[in-house]
A and B are shown apart, each in its own frame.
Chain A
């Protein structure tokens, strides 16, 4: 359900509502479980953003990753971690954050890590890159998401010789299960694009796929 307060939740989180509006919204939250649930989702995404480690890696791999996902200036993003998005944007942002953190983590842990080759650089946007641009870029994530997944899958393919065949089978089987969930969520979302549950569910399954790929790549790396 979308009521008059739904679109104000991110302002509420950012502390941008006046005292009267804030009190009114808090009164509404006490009786509207739907808005409460949405607010909880927003808090999770914001917490996820806030949990990202700002320490620069020993080898700065971000520029290549950023270029792949269409973001240019990390310093600008780091300097301004203030968030004011709509629910679908936040859902998309959570995927983008998962993409960035998963890919970065994997790149850092894999043996002989080197900056990834950028196959098709995206033109740099003129506006400073913030989480907003990250979210906007992730609103249409398929191409870039697929590229990130493909990178991890290639890494897994390279390292699969280090893994037991049973383990490889199990990982592949579970990736198929997640792929099916992603396809079903995408199909449902195509019919109901404004559905916040479907947006968040799709984001969750996409994140889960990246996490499993990262876990598998780490296992392969640990055994090599």
Chain B
């Protein structure tokens, strides 16, 4: 089945409101140039696309058994700014992309891929592979589970109530991971702080690295973990007694319990603090976020 629904505009400012039925397993794909993609969920097996756009823009909704593809054409004037409000079944996988586009998702229960250049990505929900990227905007994820990949360049990354493997990377921004249930987490930034408040599971792997920022990492009281700490020009302190081993000028380690998990914390020019869960919330700004030089 292939149904193409095309709406041609007649007014300067136009609203599109179209609903198409979808079969279980279909994926939503949305490409937008500028504006917003907001996705929410409902219990119906249908996709409703509401869009506010210029009369020059033509919204195309192409539905098949496998996918619903939403895109626009701006004619000879090029793509315009379109605000989409899309309602999808909770089970629907989402593949959303834009350029000057904010992306918001609420209530998804399947895979979510969202990528933009200038815009924020905010997702509530998601399961399986959840991959969120923005060059110039913050990335925020809540209540997701699965394989989580969060990427920004010039803004912060926040993830809360996440279960699964997590990879988070930015260049100029903080990374905050709270209420995390993970056996495999890696977070890297160049100019920013990293906060991790979550589990340290037996045999798990955790790595947190920044060049110019502080690290605040939680280690539960009953964790079994070998901790390796590296800092070139910063201090280390823990909220509980630890017995340091292998101490050199810039690197040392300690073991808690059986040490089956590995935790690596590295900051070239920042302080490292290890505390109990609930004690690692950020209490001060490390330094000027935009510190830079050529």
- Answer whether residue A52 sits at the interface, using C-beta atoms and an 8 A cutoff: no
Q: Specify which chain B residues have a CB less than 8 angstroms from the CB of A180 in the assembled complex.
A: 292-293
Interface of B, secondary structure class, is loop
- Picked from A1, A30, A188, A204, the residue with its CB within 8 Å of the CB of B251 is A1
- Answer whether residue B41 sits at the interface, using C-beta atoms and an 8 A cutoff: no
Distance in angstroms from A218 CB to nearest chain B CB is 11
- Picked from A37, A171, A184, the residue with its CB within 8 Å of the CB of B153 is A171
How far is A26 from B225 in the complex, measured between Cα atoms in Å? 16
How far is A41 from B63 in the complex, measured between Cα atoms in Å? 47
> B269 touching A184 by the CB < 8 A rule?
yes
Q: Specify which chain B residues have a CB less than 8 angstroms from the CB of A198 in the assembled complex.
A: 232, 250
- Picked from A30, A33, A166, A181, the residue with its CB within 8 Å of the CB of B190 is A181
- Answer whether residue B149 sits at the interface, using C-beta atoms and an 8 A cutoff: no
> A33 touching B255 by the CB < 8 A rule?
yes
> A40 touching B262 by the CB < 8 A rule?
yes
Q: Specify which chain A residues have a CB less than 8 angstroms from the CB of B207 in the assembled complex.
A: 40
B202-218 vs A, Cβ < 8 Å mask (1 yes, 0 no): 00010101011000000
CB-CB under 8 A for A181 and B135, given A32-B246, A188-B232, A197-B250:
no
How far is A220 from B62 in the complex, measured between Cα atoms in Å? 28
Nearest to A37 among chain B residues (CB) is: B228
With an 8 Å Cβ cutoff, the count of chain A residues facing the other chain is: 39
How far is A170 from B153 in the complex, measured between Cα atoms in Å? 8
Interface of A, secondary structure class, is helix
Nearest to B133 among chain A residues (CB) is: A215
CB-CB under 8 A for A219 and B117, given A173-B154, A177-B190:
yes
Other A-B pairs, 10, CB within 8 Å; known A1-B246, A181-B190, A212-B171: A31-B255, A32-B246, A33-B254, A37-B253, A40-B207, A40-B262, A178-B190, A181-B268, A184-B211, A201-B230
Binding site for B on A (CB under 8 A): 1, 3, 30-34, 36-37, 40, 164, 166-167, 170-171, 173-174, 176-181, 184-185, 188, 192, 195-198, 201, 204-205, 208, 212, 215, 219, 223
Binding site for A on B (CB under 8 A): 99-100, 117-118, 135-136, 153-154, 171-172, 188, 190-191, 205, 207, 209, 211-212, 226-228, 230, 232, 245-255, 259, 262, 264, 266, 268-269, 290, 292-294
